[in-house]
Amino acid sequence: MLDLKIPRDGPGGAHLSQLLVAQWPAYLAFLTSFATILIMWINHHRIFTLVGRSDDRLLFYNGVLLLGVTLVPFPTSLVADYLRRDGARTAALVFNGTYIFIAVAFNLLWRSAAVNDRLLRHDADRAAVKAIFEAYRYGPIWYVVAFGLAFVTVTGSLLLNLALAVYFAWPRSATSTDRALARG
């Protein structure tokens, strides 16, 4: 989960420093979860700098996205715990399934607001709107590819997820994003 546990004495009375070092997968899972949630928060903010009003459908899709975001620590910890043992593929499939869910939720949220400018601000930056449509167009497909790749190589699947996180973290258009954030 998105927490770090205080190590307890293990067999043989290991020193605290050894116990802390032995928890490296938990640290990696924590940092991965945090970074992923941060990227989602940034993208969510990018969307809502362009949205001028809301309705029940947008709020519902926003809640569905929130459900996906709150799930992130669990599959991340699952992968950290099982990456080096039996169950790694299952953990990767759960991890990838979570990201498919989130990608679909982001698309539903964005399309609910942006198709036909339904809920967008009247002065929404057209370049920023187009950039988000372009970025989200293939997201769910790539996460399905990562899911399928887990049957062939767990490591490759996780690396594809990392590449997708970097892609979605990258600003779509610096000038469009800056203008949208300035209007805030």
Q: What tens digit of pLDDT does each residue of 71-115 get?
A: 998 999 899 889 889 999 999 999 999 999 999 999 999 999 999
Q: Is the pTM of this model over 0.85?
A: no
Q: Which two tokens stand for residue 35?
A: 């970074």
| CA–CA distance, 49 with 112 (Å, rounded to integer) | 15
Residue 170 near residue 149 (C-beta atoms within 8 A): no
User: Tokens 């942006």, residue?
Assistant: 114
> What was the pLDDT predicted at 1?
52
Q: Which residues of 140-167 are buried (b: 16+ CB within 10 A; e: fewer)?
A: bebbeebbebbeeebeebbebbeebbee
The pLDDT of residue 173 is above 80: no
* Cβ contacts of 177 within 8 Å, gap of 6 or more: 46, 128, 171
> What pLDDT, on the 0 to 100 scale, is given for residue 117?
96
pLDDT at 29 over 70: yes
In this predicted structure, what is the pLDDT of residue 4?
77
Has residue 16 got a pLDDT over 80? yes
Mean pLDDT of the chain: 88
φ, ψ (nearest 5 deg) of residue 121: -65, 150
> Residue 180 — very low, low, confident or very high, per pLDDT cuts 50/70/90?
very low
Mean pLDDT (whole number) for 29-47: 89
Task: List b or e across 57-94, with b for residues whose CB sees 16 or more CB atoms inside 10 angstroms.
Answer: ebeebbebbeebbebbbbbbbbbbebbeeeebeebbbb
Instruction: State CA 8 to chain mean position distance.
Output: 31
Positive or negative, the CA dihedral 165, 166, 167, 173 is positive
Q: Is the dihedral of CA 115, 121, 123, 127 positive or negative?
A: negative
How much is the average pLDDT of 111-132?
A: 96
Tens digit of each residue's pLDDT (9 = 90 or more) over 2-14: 567 888 776 666 7
* Cα gap 14→8, rounded to integer Å: 9
Percent of the chain's residues with pLDDT above 70: 89
Percentage of the chain lying above the pLDDT 90 cut: 62
